[in-house]
Amino acid sequence: MGKNTYYYDNSADPGELARILSYGVQQVDHGVIFFSEKRKILYANKYAFTMFYVRDNLTELGQTFSGWINRLGIEPHATSWCRVYAVNGKERLYKVRYRHLIDEDAKPLGHMYIIQNLSEIVDNGSGEQYRLTHDELTHLYNREGFTAATRQLLASIEDDRRYVLLYSNIKDFKLINQLFGLEKGNDILLNIGEMLAQQVKEDDIYGRINGDHFALVMPKDRFDEKTFKKAVKEITGRLTSKSYSLHFQIGVYEITDPNMDVTLMCDRAYMACKSIKRDNVCEIAWYSDEMLVNALLEKEILSSFDFAIINRQFGMYLQPQVYKDGTIYGAEALARWIHPDNGIIQPGVFIDVLERADLIYKLDRYVWELAARQLADWKGTEREGIAISVNVSPKDLYYLDIKKEFMELVKRYDIDPKYLNIEITETAVTSDVNKCSRLILELQKSGFVVEIDDFGSGYSSLNMLKDINADVLKIDMGFLRKTENLNRAQVILNYTVELAHELGMGVVTEGVETKDQLEYLSSIGCKMFQGFYFDKPMPVEEFEAKYKGLPKNMTY
């Protein structure tokens, strides 16, 4: 017995073993072809000769098969595909599975192709029905076929056995299609279909619902998360390359009412999918009724967002940025949705929804303009010189020309750029350090003050500082609250403040809630603060009533 999982009697005669293996392969009702590592055909069973209309000439079969693959433009290492083979006026539909054979020492042995003839399924009397209920690429059930088969299965249940519906999503799959082409995307989808086929039993229902979404219905007592994750990780390992990685999100809905519309079951499992935040190779989430409430809220937010922007339902709140004694330096602009029926909607309700829908840039641009207009209103008053900081979200960098947007605001409202401070999150910076470094330098040359928000939230903070020369670091006190080892966190915070000052950057600490926090931060050199200890975000009118002017000789 070798290192891999195969067994044979090592006392058997090698010739006898080879003959019986060859005879066994001849009985398979699929075509089987083996090539050497250098692509010379070595073996084929009789069914392969029949499928490609070649008579007992191994070399000719190899040339015919290889020529067919080349004409199709199949990638050399595509693991599965389904195409038409046309000869003598006939069209045959063949599904091909490919494996690169490697021994237990990782030494390449050759190439194996298994070819399945699907022509009869399509050509027989049920061909039209087959096409209506099956996916053209994977030949699994499509949405219609899956729905009908699931409905039939659930209607036939006579005991109390519970079933679950699994719904899968590949994060950012559209990006893979855009970057690497539909051929690679289709190869991935075919492999997922094969993985499903290997995980299920005969009475399970599974199919490709649409795009990169697959669904599976199986008894709850047979669904094991660890086993399923292991299978997904195995297929991901085969398909992932240095250029991209796959992240599977699987939502699970436990079927409590067999009479429920199958489409609604799929929707609920997909809600569970969308609730997944982590980017591991495979994450599984179970549906809860809370997800339905959130989904309805999300739908309402997205359907009314454009109307709310046009009708100026979003207002700007200002949270003061102050010195230790409470004297004002500036303020951070924060969005609030002032809904005519529901009152003030907090950002925690709608920001994540807009980010997932790639609409956050519209809201950010709207708030930038409110801030610029407010700075223009303060010109010539005792509040002139109070800076307003506005947020730049990671996706703003992709949808907007940031420098152009801010330069146009400065020109339109005739304001000094040094009072319109630009906060870029650490996450946005680390997503493309070189691009952000250039952008920050250009903004600074144009007179803007640039702040790095949420510093310390990522894992590349110190590495980022060697390339990014911002004016201000904003540190959230959540950095201390999120750890059980307060002493270690304080040491890191202390050195971070000291490092920022050594690099010529100011420090603003946000999230300050208690006097003890304020005293500690002051002791390590922090001079600017933001948080509920001083004031919550407030409407502009309330801010203006409370904060009249600026202190002299302001420094960070």
Q: What is the DSSP string of 170-234?
A: ETTHHHHHHHH-HHHHHHHHHHHHHHHHHH--TT-EEEEEETTEEEEEEEGGG--HHHHHHHHHH
Other beta carbons within 10 angstroms of residue 176's beta carbon come to 21
Whether residue 6 lies inside any domain: the answer is: no
Q: What is the pLDDT of residues 266-313, one digit of tens each?
A: 999 998 988 887 777 788 999 998 888 877 888 888 899 999 999 999
Boundary-marking domain end, from 78, 100, 123 = 123
Residue 3 has pLDDT above 50, yes or no: no
Using the CB atoms, write b or e for 382-394: b if 16+ within 10 Å: ebebbbbbbbbbb
Q: Does residue 28 share a domain with residue 176?
A: no
Position 130 pLDDT exceeds 80: no
- 233 and 90 inside one domain: no
As a whole number of angstroms, the distance between CA 451 and CA 468 comes to: 11
Where among 100, 123, 146 does a domain terminate?
A: 123
Where b means 16+ CB within 10 Å and e means fewer, 82-101 reads beebeeeeeebbbbbbbeee
> Residue 345 maps to which CATH number?
3.20.20.450
Residues 235 and 190 in one domain: yes
Residue span of the structural domain in which 44 resides = 14-123
489/343 same-domain check: yes
150/216 Cα distance (integer angstroms): 9
Task: Kindly indicate the confidence band of residue 125, based on its pLDDT and cuts at 50, 70 and 90.
Answer: very low
Bridge partners (DSSP) listed for residue 530:
510
pLDDT of residue 176: 76
Give the pLDDT band (50/70/90) at residue 124: low
Of residues 198 and 262, which shows the higher confidence score?
A: 262
**Which has the higher per-residue pLDDT, 92 or 212?**
212
DSSP 339-381: ETTTEEEPHHHHHHHHHHTT-HHHHHHHHHHHHHHHHHHHTTS
Of 61, 88, 123, the position where a domain reaches its end is: 123
Q: Are residues 109 and 174 in the same domain?
A: no
Instruction: Please give the span between the terminal C-alpha atoms of the chain, in angstroms, as a whole number.
Output: 72
pLDDT of 319 reads 96
Residues 6+ apart with CB under 8 A from 306: none
Q: In angstroms, how far is CA 221 from the centroid of its own chain?
A: 30
For residues 327 and 340, membership in a common domain is answered with yes
- Per-residue pLDDT, averaged over 430-438, amounts to 82
Q: Is the pLDDT at 251 greater than 90, yes or no?
A: yes
Is residue 57 predicted with pLDDT exceeding 60?
yes
Among 14-18, 31-35, 397-401, the least confident range: 14-18
Residue 553 pLDDT > 60: no
CATH number for the domain spanning 162: value is: 3.30.70.270
Residue pLDDT, tens place only, 416-425: 999 999 999 8
Ranking 70-84, 150-164, 250-264, 382-396 by mean pLDDT, the lowest is 70-84
Does 299 reside within a domain? no
Gap between the Cα atoms of 337 and 309, Å rounded:
10
The burial of 490, by beta-carbon neighbours within 10 Å (0-12 exposed, 13-18 middle, 19 or more buried), is given as middle
Residues 6+ apart with CB under 8 A from 316: 333, 334, 335, 336, 367, 370, 371, 374, 540
Coil vs helix vs strand at 517: helix
Is residue 460 scored above 60 in pLDDT? no
Residue 5: pLDDT band (50, 70, 90) is very low
Per-residue pLDDT reduced to its tens digit, 509-532: 998 998 988 998 999 989 999 999
- Cα torsion 466, 470, 318, 339 to 10°: value is -70
User: Same domain, yes or no, for 55 and 87?
Assistant: yes
Q: Is residue 552 part of a domain?
A: no
The set of residues, in sequence order, having a beta carbon less than 8 Å from that of 290 and lying 6+ positions away, is none
92: CATH? 3.30.450.20
Whether residue 459 has pLDDT greater than 60: no
Predicted confidence band at 357 (pLDDT cuts at 50, 70, 90)? confident
Residue 386 has a pLDDT of 94
> Which letter, b or e, does each residue of 453-484 get, where b requires 16 or more Cβ atoms within 10 Å of its Cβ?
bbbbbeeebeebbeebebbbbbbbbebbeeee
Give the span between the Cα atoms of 200 and 191, in whole angstroms: 15
State the sign of the Cα–Cα–Cα–Cα dihedral 122, 125, 126, 132.
positive
247 is a domain residue: yes
pLDDT at 85: 82
Domain count, the chain: 3
For the chain, give me the number of helices (H) and strands (E)?
22, 20
In this structure, are 336 and 423 located in the same domain?
A: yes
- pLDDT one-digit tens code per residue, 16-26: 777 787 777 87
Give a yes or no: residue 1 inside a domain.
no
Predicted pLDDT of residue 484: 57
Same domain, 179 and 322: no
0.75 exceeded by pTM: no
Write down the mean pLDDT value for the chain: 85
Q: Give the model's pLDDT for residue 95.
A: 81
Task: Assess whether pLDDT exceeds 90 at residue 127.
Answer: no
Over residues 164-187, mean pLDDT: 83
Q: Are residues 105 and 132 in the same domain?
A: no
Residue 175 clears pLDDT 70, i.e. is over it: yes
Taking alpha carbons only, the member of 272, 298, 292 closest to residue 283 is 272
* CB-based contact 191:235 (threshold 8 Å): yes
pLDDT class for 1, splitting at 50, 70, 90?
Answer: very low
Q: How far is CA 49 from CA 19, 23, 45, in A?
A: 19, 15, 7
Which range in 21-25, 86-90, 116-120, 296-300 is most confidently predicted, on average pLDDT? 296-300
pLDDT at position 268, please?
92
- How much of the chain, in percent, has pLDDT values that exceed 90? 41
- Tell me how far apart the alpha carbons of residues 353 and 303 are, in angstroms, rounded to a whole number: 11
Q: Residue 105: is its pLDDT beyond 70?
A: yes
Angle, to 10 degrees, between the axis of helix 289-310 and the axis of helix 360-378? 50
In the predicted model, is pLDDT for residue 475 greater than 90? no
Residue 551 placed within a domain: no
Tell me if 174 is assigned to some domain: yes
11 vs 169, more confident: 169
Q: Are residues 318 and 269 in the same domain?
A: no
Check whether residue 153 and residue 115 sit in a common domain.
no
pLDDT of residue 2: 41
CA distances from 260 to 219, 223, 291 (A): 17, 21, 18
Q: Is residue 319 in a domain?
A: yes
